[in-house]
């Protein structure tokens, strides 16, 4: 199994890649601040800058040959196709970025003439239907040449699909979250902004109440994730609840990380690779939940809870 470094030399995927906006309907808020911040935070929270220095150990189980094959699959998601030390982290990060924006990542398993995996090509969710594990893509007219067909049918064997884990709301829950996250304009309703632009101070509208409702909506939507909204001096919650959410967020990101790694291992098995990725040195989701419970019982304080649940070098 060898994949040419040059993209032009690689076997072409059948599915179309084309530019689309966010997978959810456009936000009411022109800035979509919460949407952007949330998806960014999701990706950045999974980053481990240097696995060796951080004490995190990422190993492949299996024979050298099988391990090389598994690493190759991971490297396919890295644009440079180098078998770098942290290719697994890069691959996980890549998948997470797709999941963060859409709640689901779809890859076409591209094979060469020998039937070997030559590439993993991501394609957008837009215009895609999943039927009994198979996939039907209807590309927009502008995304294909006139000679090409807009319709692509992908068999289950050639499709690698990763959804958000169920604990975090799954695909549907995540899309709903993203759709609602920036539904409220962060700078106030339209009429309020208009009034402000012309120098009027709206008398019957209490912006403080609006801000509270806005924040409450954000907290409520991201309850499962425990996302802080990058608000380190929260006005509407206690410091305890802020830490509670911080631990919840750490738990959620760890659940996501492990879910993606497990999906890689499932892919390896599907592709007949007798190897699997094993990560150690990171607090497990169960450990984080236990720390949160201990904090709730008052057995450890905020500093201790934060210290023992923090990913290394994060």
Partner 1 sequence: MELLLVPFVATRWPIPESSSYVSWLGSLAQIGGVFIALYFTAVTAAAGAIYATVPNNIRDLMTRERVGNIYVRYLTQATFIPLCLIALNLAGFPPLRLALPILIILAGTGIIAFAALGRRAFDLFDPTRLAGSLFGELGRWLDQVSAGGFRWKDPEFQNHAHRQSNSIVDGLLTLADLAATHENLESGPLLEFSVQILALLTEYQRRKLRIPTDSYWFGQKHEHPSWYMTDDSTTSMAHQTGTTLTPNFVRQYHWFEDRVETIVVKCFDVNIRRARVDNVGELLSAAGTYVDALARSGDLNRATALVERVREKWERHCSENGAPESPARVGIADVLGSLQIQVLVAYRSAIEQLSPESTANRIQSVHWSRVESLYSKRFPSAELRLLEWVAPRLEAENEIEGKIRTPNWYIQDLIARAQMEAMVENLNSIVERGSELQSWSDRLVKAGLVWQSAAVLARELEYLNKLAAHKGFLAARFEALNAAKHLSDLQWPKFDKTEWVERAGKLRTRLNRSMALHILLLKDSEAVTGVPDYLGQFIHETAENLVDVLLKNETSEVQVLFAPLLRGTLALFERMKPSDPNFDVWTEQKLQIAAAPVIDLLELSGFSKLLAELHGEEKLWTPIATAWDSLFPKNPRMLPWLAAVTAGGLPRFQIPHRGLVRTNWSMRVQRELNQLPRRTFLGRGSGLFTREEIDHPSPLVRYCAKYEFHDGWEIFAALYLAKQPGGENLRWGHSVTNLTEALERDQEDDTGGDDENPEEL
Residue 181 C-beta: closest distance to partner 1, Å = 15
Contacts of partner 1 in 210-269 (CB under 8 A): 212, 216, 219-220, 223, 236-241, 244
Nearest CB to partner 1, comparing residues 67 and 309: 309
Nearest CB to partner 1, comparing residues 15 and 222: 222
State which of residues 55, 156, 301, 313 lies at the interface with partner 1 (CB under 8 A): 301
Q: Report the candidate in 49, 45, 20 with the shortest Cα–Cα distance to residue 222.
A: 45
Residue 298 C-beta: closest distance to partner 1, Å = 4
DSSP letter for each residue of 141-187 = GGGS-TTS-SEEEE-GGGEEEEE--GGGTHHHHHHHHHHHHT-S-TT
Which residues, in sequence order, are CB contacts of 294 under 8 Å at separation 6+?
300, 305
Q: Taking contact as CB under 8 A, which single stretch among the options 15-23, 60-68, 270-278, 301-309 is the one that binds partner 1?
A: 301-309
Residue 298, interface with partner 1 (CB under 8 A)? yes
State which of residues 25, 57, 284, 296 lies at the interface with partner 1 (CB under 8 A): 296
| Binding-site size, partner 1 (CB under 8 A) | 18
Residue 229 C-beta: closest distance to partner 1, Å = 12
Within 82-146, residue ranges assigned H as helices are: 87-102
Residue 178 C-beta: closest distance to partner 1, Å = 19
Residue 203, interface with partner 1 (CB under 8 A)? no
Instruction: Catalogue the long-range contacts made by 119-124 (C-beta closer than 8 Å, 24 or more residues apart).
Output: 119/3, 119/10, 119/11, 119/13, 119/76, 120/73, 120/76, 120/77, 120/160, 121/13, 121/15, 121/17, 122/17, 122/98, 123/13, 123/15, 123/16, 123/17, 124/17, 124/18, 124/20, 124/23
- The DSSP symbol for 139 reads -
Residue 129, interface with partner 1 (CB under 8 A)? no
Residue 205 C-beta: closest distance to partner 1, Å = 18
Q: Taking contact as CB under 8 A, which single stretch among the options 78-86, 158-166, 196-204, 292-300 is the one that binds partner 1?
A: 292-300
Residue 306 C-beta: closest distance to partner 1, Å = 9
Using alpha carbons only, what angle is made at residue 94 by residues 88 and 100, rounded to the nearest 5 degrees?
130
Residue 244 C-beta: closest distance to partner 1, Å = 5
Cα 85 from Cα 87, distance rounded (Å): 6
Sites of contact with partner 1 (CB under 8 A): 212, 216, 219-220, 223, 236-241, 244, 296-298, 301-303
């Amino acid at each position: 199994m060898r994949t040419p470094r040059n993209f032009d030399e690689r076997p072409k995927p059948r599915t179309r890649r084309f530019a689309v906006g966010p997978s959810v309907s456009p936000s009411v808020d022109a800035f979509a601040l919460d949407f952007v911040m949330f998806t960014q935070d999701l990706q950045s929270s999974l980053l481990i800058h240097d696995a060796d220095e951080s004490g995190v150990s990422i190993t492949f189980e299996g024979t050298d040959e099988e391990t090389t094959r598994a690493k190759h699959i991971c490297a396919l998601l890295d644009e440079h196709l180098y078998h770098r030390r942290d290719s697994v982290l890069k691959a996980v990060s890549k998948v997470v970025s797709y999941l963060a924006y859409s709640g689901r990542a779809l890859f076409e398993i591209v094979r060469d003439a020998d039937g070997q995996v030559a590439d993993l090509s991501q394609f957008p969710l837009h215009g895609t239907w999943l039927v009994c594990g198979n996939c039907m893509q209807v590309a927009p007219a502008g995304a294909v040449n006139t000679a090409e067909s807009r319709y692509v049918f992908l068999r289950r064997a050639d499709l690698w699909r990763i959804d958000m884990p169920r604990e975090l709301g799954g695909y549907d829950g995540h899309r709903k979250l993203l759709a609602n996250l920036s539904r409220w304009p962060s700078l106030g309703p339209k009429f309020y902004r208009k009034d402000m632009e012309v120098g009027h101070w709206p008398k019957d509208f209490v912006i403080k109440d609006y801000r509270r409702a806005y924040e409450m909506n954000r907290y409520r939507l991201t309850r499962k994730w425990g996302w802080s909204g990058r608000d380190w001096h929260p006005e509407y919650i206690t410091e305890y609840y802020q830490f509670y959410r911080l631990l919840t967020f750490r738990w959620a990101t760890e659940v996501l990380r492990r879910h993606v790694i497990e999906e890689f291992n499932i892919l390896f098995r599907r592709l007949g690779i007798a190897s699997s990725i094993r990560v150690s040195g990171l607090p497990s989701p169960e450990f984080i939940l236990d720390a949160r419970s201990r904090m709730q019982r008052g057995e450890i304080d905020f500093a201790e809870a934060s210290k023992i649940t923090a990913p290394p070098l994060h």
